[in-house]
Amino acid sequence: MSDIIQPITIAMIQDFPLFEGLSQEEADLIAQSSIKRTIPAKTVFIEQGTNSETAFFILEGSVNIFRIDENGNEVSISVLGKGDIVGEMALIDHSPRSAYAKTLSTVETLVLSSDSFRNILKNYPDISIRLLASLSKRIRDSDQRLEDFVTKSLKTRSWNALKTLEIYFPDGEIALSHEELATIVGATRARITEVLNELEKENKVSLSHRKIILL
């Protein structure tokens, strides 16, 4: 994984939702155990089946969590962004990674080792409770995503996905190809192109090379 390692400050720790309310001394202890990394867009930084050594706390940007089906196709599970954690479940149950993680945009992260992460959960019970709440929300979101796939039209699913993705890209310019969006929504590239052209005719989006802008 090609990335840029940068200094980390106490403010970065205190601004992260999971660590909200920590004192400067407590935040400093976590900062000393963390590394700040900038991961370029379109980078796979977690691979399914590999050993679990680190957790990634997203400060900025967006990440697609996906698996590979029996035909070699990417199947998107969820899109995570600012305030979310990637890779923490495998650290908790000591299992191999259950999915791939790929940056959709440039991502700023705090990285904690498995030992540091477990020590934080042991020493700060409130953080453990917040983590459980975060995991519960992710499960509910996954259930909703499955329900939407079954009950809602591709156009509706695509529009909802675009509204979510817009939050994670600077200036609302979603820098994804039609094929990448198709993977996230669960459709073919051709069908996504048809939907995007319909949305453009309705003046809901503006399309350019590898960019989708909501109007």
Residue 207, pLDDT score = 92
- 22-49 exposure pattern, b = at least 16 Cβ within 10 A, e = fewer: beeebbebbbebbbbbbbeeebebbeee
Show the tokens assigned to 17: 């939702």
Alpha carbon distance 200, 30 (integer Å): 46
**How many Cβ atoms sit within 10 Å of the Cβ of residue 209?**
6
Q: Per residue of the chain (215 residues), what is the pLDDT tens digit? A: 445 556 678 888 888 888 887 888 888 888 888 888 999 999 999 998 888 788 899 999 999 999 888 888 888 888 999 888 898 877 777 778 888 999 999 999 999 888 888 888 888 877 877 777 777 777 777 767 776 776 789 999 899 889 888 888 877 789 888 988 998 888 889 999 999 999 999 999 999 888 899 98
DSSP class of 95: P
